[in-house]
Amino acid sequence: MSMLVTNIGELVTNDPELGPGPLGIVRDAALLVDGDRIGWVGTAAEGRDQAADDVYDVEGRCVVPGFVDSHTHLVFAGDRADEFAARMSGEPYTGGGIARTVAATRAATDDELLANLRRLVTELRSQGTTTVEVKSGYGLDVEQEARLLRIARRVTGETTYLGAHVVPPEYAQRRDEYVALVTGPMLEACAPHARWADVFCEPASPHAFDGDESAAVLGAAAAAGLGLRVHGNQLSAGPGVRLAVEHGAASVDHCTHLSDADVDALAGGTTVATLLPAVEFSTRSPYPPARRLLDAGVTVALATDCNPGSCYSSSMPFVIALAVREMGMTPGEALWAATAGGARALRRDDVGRIGHGARADLALLDAPSHLHLAYRPGVPTAHSL
Ligand code: NIG
Ligand code: FE
């Protein structure tokens, strides 16, 4: 099946060879979808010569690459709205509430977890997201972590083993034993179901992992053949960024508190800095220094971090609006980071762009230009096609 999408007022390709600037914008454009791939991109006038089974006239609307949400925790049960309310009254976020979601998730059936996961995937797709990474991390024992990854695999190939989310309460006095479990039998059980491994590296939280523990997790995961990601520098300027760069992680996520050395390390390495400003919104925290990173030449991605604790939003358009309004990113930088940036954070070149051979993952905006994503915050402008 092929479909010509035509009368696109503004087409954002993220391919500088197709149009000016990093967004590679083509005006009055058309594109050909051939099966699940992009077969051709050009102007609407040129498109008249393209043979296609179907034609979809989008009447001057804007088409952008589907959003790549490279950081979520969508396999869970229950919610923690009460913690959100407490934070809005001044309580800090420490990660302590994760244990509540672990208890609820362990008690849930596979069907319940899958139904909740599918509900959230439908929710994010309806807002323009076409690629989603999903982490485990609310099981925290061998069987439960493997179960959560098997369930995540039902909706995405971008699955991440996060046995090192927090030290579960039953191991609080035996942290070494938990790290041994995460780097041994749990890793062995989970690796077949995961593409990536992640660790919540945060010495400022008594629940998360310090630099040495995190290095052990990353080393073992790499030896097991998994790609690496890190939750780093969320609550303090800890060792997360440095470790991520040293281990060649694809991405270090949060980056809320950064030293100059962290920014230099990111600028000199291959690790993407993934910013999650809906977390700062939902925890009433200062926003990450996006401008410092961009001005230093760091590759920046934007993602939701959708989870029941620190941020229960699945909306990439909301994240883009926050990045523009609160972190000083231009609308173009924010859109690039939410599409091409996310693709780089997942080391993918078939998503996050619209060009020949890319996946036909598109978002249609009920708007004439990508500026409307941040210009009309809270308005349901984007839909995946
Ligand atoms: O990315 N920081 C660690 N983990 C998640 C929050 C998980 C939760 O609070 O349930 C995060 O913010
Ligand atoms: Fe997270």
Pairing relationship of beta strands 362-365 and 382-384 according to DSSP bridges: antiparallel
- The ipTM is 0.98
Asked if 105 and 75 touch (Cβ cutoff 8 Å), the reply is yes
**Could you tell me the CA-to-CA distances from 73 to 2, 36, 139, 189, 316 in Å, in that order?**
35, 27, 12, 19, 15
What tokens were used for 199? 């660790």
Determine the average pLDDT of the residues in 310-330: 98
Q: Is the CB of 310 under 6 A from ligand 1?
A: yes
CA gap 192, 177 in Å, rounded: 23
Torsions phi, psi of 157, nearest 5? -85, -10
Residue whose Cα lies nearest atom 8 of ligand 1: it is: 309
Report whether 193 belongs to an annotated binding site.
Answer: no
- Single-letter amino acid code for the residue at 334: A
Mean per-residue pLDDT, 284-298: 98
Tell me which DSSP letter residue 66 carries: P
d(CA 95, CA 86): 14
Best residue among 79, 102, 165 to mutate for probing ligand 1, ranked by most atoms within 8 Å of CB: 165
- Cβ(232) – ligand 1 distance below 6 Å: no
**Mean pLDDT to the nearest integer, 311-326:** 98
For the stretch 43-59, pLDDT in tens is: 999 999 999 999 999 99
Atom number of ligand 1 nearest to Cα 254: 1
Q: How far is CA 183 from CA 106, 211, 241, in A?
A: 21, 15, 20
| 73 marked ligand binding residue | yes
* Choice from 98, 116, 311 to test ligand 1 binding pocket (greatest atom count within 8 A of CB): 98
Could you tell me if the CB of 239 is within 6 A of ligand 1? no
What is the model's pLDDT at position 385? 85
pLDDT tens by residue, 131-143? 999 999 999 999 9
- Flag whether the pTM goes above 0.95: yes
% residues pLDDT > 90 (the chain):
99
Residue 372 marked ligand-binding: no
Q: Alpha-carbon distance 310 to 70, whole Å? A: 16
Q: What is the pairing mode between strands 134-135 and 67-69?
A: unpaired
Mean pLDDT of 60-71: 98
